[in-house]
Amino acid sequence: DTGVSQNPRHKITKRGQNVTFRCDPISEHNRLYWYRQTLGQGPEFLTYFQNEAQLEKSRLLSDRFSAERPKGSFSTLEIQRTEQGDSAMYLCASSLARDSLGSDTQYFGPGTRLTVL
């Protein structure tokens, strides 16, 4: 168990470019979450997967954002036509949901810091 990993750790891009981030969860964790954290704020939920199914998307996730978890293992988050307002830390978390109560502990990766110039 090596924890949740995210790549890249830092990404600097120009406005209008597309970027893709990757998250590798703890092995055998069936849930994977994406959050966004801006400076001085707490993380905000973006979306989550149960295995390969994307079950909920926040209204924060505009049409320019897309997330996948094709085989129920790693996940990617793509942002198309980046804007300066997309600059933030993107956090990934995974958990093992054992029941339907939703109280499982989420383990977070180190995040990907995106800067849009």
Which residues in this chain contact another protein in the complex, by CB under 8 A? Answer: 4, 6, 31, 33, 35, 40-45, 48, 55-56, 91, 93, 95, 97, 100-111, 113
Integer Cα distance of 14 and 38 in angstroms? 18
Phi, psi angles (nearest 5°) of residue 2: -100, 5
CB of 42 to another protein, least distance (A): 3
Q: Specify the residue, 15 or 55, whose C-beta has the smaller distance to another protein.
A: 55
CB of 14 to another protein, least distance (A): 23
Q: Specify the residue, 50 or 80, whose C-beta has the smaller distance to another protein.
A: 50
What are the angstrom distances between the C-alpha of 18 and each of 15, 23, 42, 61? Answer: 9, 17, 25, 15
C-beta neighbour count of 71 within 10 angstroms: 9
CB of 113 to another protein, least distance (A): 8
